[in-house]
Amino acid sequence: MNIGIEIGGTKIQVVIGKADGTIEERYRFIVDRSQGAKGILLSIEQILGTLPNQPEAIGVGFGGPVNRETGLIATSHQIVGWAGFSLKNWLEENTGARVIVENDANTAALGEALCGAGKEYRHVFYITLGSGVGGGMVNEGRLFHSAFPGEAEVGHVRMNKQGDSLESVCSGWALNNTIREKLPSLPETSYLKKAIGEATSHEARYLSEALKNNDPAARDILMQYADNLAFGLSHVVHLFHPEIIILGGGVSLIGDPLLNAVRLALPAYVVSTLHPVPVIALSQLGEDVVPTGALLLTNS
């Protein structure tokens, strides 16, 4: 029996399954940020205490920079109490299992490459478009690793000399801000404006609905977003030249309109010798992407 754990800023998932990524049983709970890391550890400890058998190996996808060799957490940008904590040692002491700890974007990349949209490709890049922007590269079934503390940090790619990063223009929060800034100038007849109404957060959730109703403002916002994303991804193509780039995370749920817009925009930013550009695809695993990858880590 193997265990896969996803530790994020909003949710925790603990799954029981196999080293090939197969999920057999799942526990899921929402993070109480006020309880910090201690609250998350207590919840995980309680779940592990209910298991009928001791796990052989545990894989963890953690939402923040980690030292994969020592299992030491550098920090969490969302939950206090993680900095300097040895998650690997803590899990080993509580279970006696072999433990592998990875950044969650890397973990998701492994899951999507071996069990999702990338399983027919040898060179796979995965980008998660959520509250932050992260990435991971998988070559021949193995995660790309460089020197600690970071690798494939696509969210921090600079879009200009002024310091704007891909994350600052393409995260979910950035998309919310773009919509929020545009709202006052929209006519009262705008479908997007009417759909958002009095809402003051998570404006991006209304974008798909507005696109389906052919709202011009929604289309313009999407095209601007996709163009920025394509420009950021052009650096991935020039550095890694993957066969496929997979879009994951909450923003990717916009679906085909986003996919098609990025496909259309990317070639203009990539040197002609690297044409045709990589396949662009949407994540197939959805919420299972990190837990699946965490189980696959146990095979390493």
Instruction: Return the structure tokens found at 194.
Output: 């009417």
Compute φ and ψ for 298, nearest 5 degrees: -70, -10
- Contact present, 41 and 14 (Cβ < 8 Å): no
Q: Is the peptide bond before 257 cis (omega within 30 degrees of 0)?
A: no
What pLDDT, on a 0 to 100 scale, did the predictor assign at position 126?
Answer: 98
Task: Give the pLDDT band of residue 268 (cuts 50, 70, 90).
Answer: very high
The pLDDT tens digits for 3-34 are 999 998 888 999 999 999 999 999 999 989 89
CA-angle at 65, arms to 60 and 67, nearest 5°: 70
Q: Is the peptide bond before 149 cis (omega within 30 degrees of 0)?
A: yes
Can you tell me the distance from the alpha carbon of 295 to that of 143, in angstroms, rounded to the nearest whole number?
14
The pLDDT tens digits for 247-260 are 999 999 999 999 99
Can you tell me the distance from the alpha carbon of 168 to that of 165, in angstroms, rounded to the nearest whole number?
5
CA-angle at 201, arms to 198 and 205, nearest 5°: 95
Cite the beta strand spans of 70-214 per DSSP E.
72-73, 98-103, 123-129, 133-139, 142-143
Percent of the chain with pLDDT over 70: 99
Tell me which amino acid residue 267 is. Answer: P
In the three-class reduction of DSSP (H, G, I as helix; E, B as strand; rest coil), residue 221 is classed as helix
- How far is CA 131 from each of CA 70, 79, 173, rounded to the nearest angstrom? 27, 14, 6
Name the segment(s) of the chain with CATH classification 3.30.420.40.
Answer: 2-109+288-297, 119-284
- How far is CA 104 from each of CA 9, 73, 113, 294, rounded to the nearest angstrom? 11, 12, 14, 9
Task: Give the pLDDT band of residue 53 (cuts 50, 70, 90).
Answer: confident
- Contact present, 124 and 113 (Cβ < 8 Å): yes
Q: Does domain 119-284 have CATH number 3.30.420.40?
A: yes
For 2-109+288-297, CATH gives 3.30.420.40
User: Sign of torsion, CA 274 275 276 279?
Assistant: positive
What pLDDT, on a 0 to 100 scale, did the predictor assign at position 52?
Answer: 82
The pLDDT tens digits for 59-104 are 999 998 899 889 999 888 788 999 999 999 999 999 999 999 999 9
The pLDDT tens digits for 108-136 are 999 999 999 999 999 999 999 998 899 99
Q: Report the pLDDT averaged over residues 55-60.
A: 96
